[in-house]
Amino acid sequence: MAPPRVTWAQALAWRLERHLLEPVGSPEVVDVVRRLCGVQAQVASSAELAVRVRRHASRPGEVADALADGRLVKTWAMRGTLHLFPAEDAGMFLSLMAAGRSWERPSWTRYFGVDPAGVERLRVAVREILLGRTLTREELIAEVTARPGLDHVGDALRSGWGTLLKPVAWQGDLCFGPNQGTQVTFTHPTTASERWVPPPPPDAAAPRAIAAYLGAYGPATFEAFGTWLAGGWFGKRQLAGWYAELGESISEVDLDGERAVIRSADLDGLLATRRSDSVRLLPGFDQFVLGPGTGDGHVTPAARRTAVSRQAGWISPVVVTGGVVKGTWALDGDALRVEWFREAGRVPTHRLDPEIARLGGIMGRELRTSLVIV
């Protein structure tokens, strides 16, 4: 039997609903983060706004409160970037990151001068040092480099990218603590949250993680999941094997001629969905764009990818219409500049203006808007 047919317009409208964007939802902060399979958090203000635009009522500081009381944790995860997670869920995604064993590659050893045995020594040391404690980067480095065989890793640990610490985080032995002024801090996840659940084995984590991903970003391919997870670290055979474990809990669809899968429980809802004309202003690094990746031309038009995915990994705030990026925006004080892509056609001001007002309400200010066709 041929798989049911779905249009991209349907699929993107369904994602908007799953992302609490059409209609806007009312779940608690942690439930929003869970729905999105984590929220990228290199820029704290963008992470907070990603949550707030998905809630009817919100207030500043809710994300910080959830971190402070252990409902959320912040750690390095997908693609090596900082993410917020519900404390109960983080280990599921970290397990798959650790399964990539990137630190066992010869290129890693050559660059950092730390072989796999050295990474294991570092992990054990960090775990022992951080249990029950919260330390600044320099405090942690001082204690790590005092350990035998780790005296040479100080410079690598000082890197703002934190690459040498990421395998420790992925194995569940480090996360971020509250900032001390402008200084980041690190702690052990069990210290950060009583709700913390250690990473399960990858084969147990994968079906849950894939199902969660499909619940937010489906219909999708297993290659899309792999790109979102680790930017191509995993081979197709491993990804296909994980997908096979889902069995009848996923269903195939014909997505405008492409083969993709959706959770079987979501299939009827997807087929009943109609295209959306909603307009949403989403912050930088928003999961609606990052989930499928900026290389997915159905969400981010290929001709405009450089306007969205900029240098040094910066992801612009975007204007999304019907699930497709139609422009970008930037805020300078009270001045909002919207850059609408020329090929996107007529600007739907009757939908854009209320969305600008909604953004102003979230930010607690009246925005002065300029609209430019680019």
The gap from C-alpha 282 to its chain's centroid, in whole angstroms, comes to 14
* pLDDT for the residue numbered 272: 98
What's the rounded mean pLDDT across residues 284-304? 97
CA–CA distance from 356 to each of 55, 221, 270, 282 (Å)? 15, 34, 29, 11
* pLDDT for the residue numbered 25: 94
- Token couple for 257: 């001629």
* CA-atom Rg of the chain in angstroms: 21
Task: Convert the pLDDT of each residue in 247-291 to its tens digit.
Answer: 999 999 999 999 999 999 999 999 999 999 999 999 999 999 999
Cβ-Cβ contacts under 8 Å for 140 (sequence gap 6 or more): 126, 129, 130, 157, 186
Q: pLDDT confidence of 239, banded at 50, 70, 90?
A: confident
242 vs 173, residue with greater confidence: 173
Does the pLDDT value for residue 114 go beyond 80? yes
pTM of the model: 0.96
* pLDDT for the residue numbered 312: 85
% of the chain beyond a pLDDT of 70: 100
Q: pLDDT confidence of 320, banded at 50, 70, 90?
A: very high
Residue type at 188 in one-letter notation: H
209 vs 112, residue with greater confidence: 209
From CA 296, how far away is CA 255, in angstroms rounded?
14
Does the pLDDT value for residue 328 go beyond 90? yes
The gap from C-alpha 118 to its chain's centroid, in whole angstroms, comes to 29
Bridge partners, 74 (sequence order): 84
* pLDDT for the residue numbered 232: 72
* pLDDT for the residue numbered 236: 83
| Mean of pLDDT over the chain | 95
CA–CA distance from 81 to each of 16, 46, 141, 196 (Å)? 24, 14, 21, 20
Q: pLDDT confidence of 108, banded at 50, 70, 90?
A: confident
What's the rounded mean pLDDT across residues 325-331? 98
Range in 120-124, 172-176, 179-183, 352-356 with the lowest mean pLDDT: 179-183
What's the rounded mean pLDDT across residues 187-214? 97
- Secondary structure element (H or E) that encloses residue 253, with its range: strand 250-255
* pLDDT for the residue numbered 212: 98
What's the rounded mean pLDDT across residues 48-55? 98
Does the pLDDT value for residue 237 go beyond 90? no
Residue corresponding to tokens 């429980």: 265
Task: Convert the pLDDT of each residue in 79-97 to its tens digit.
Answer: 999 999 999 999 999 999 9
Q: pLDDT confidence of 231, banded at 50, 70, 90?
A: confident
* pLDDT for the residue numbered 178: 95
% of the chain beyond a pLDDT of 90: 88
- Token couple for 139: 């405090």
Does the pLDDT value for residue 370 go beyond 90? yes
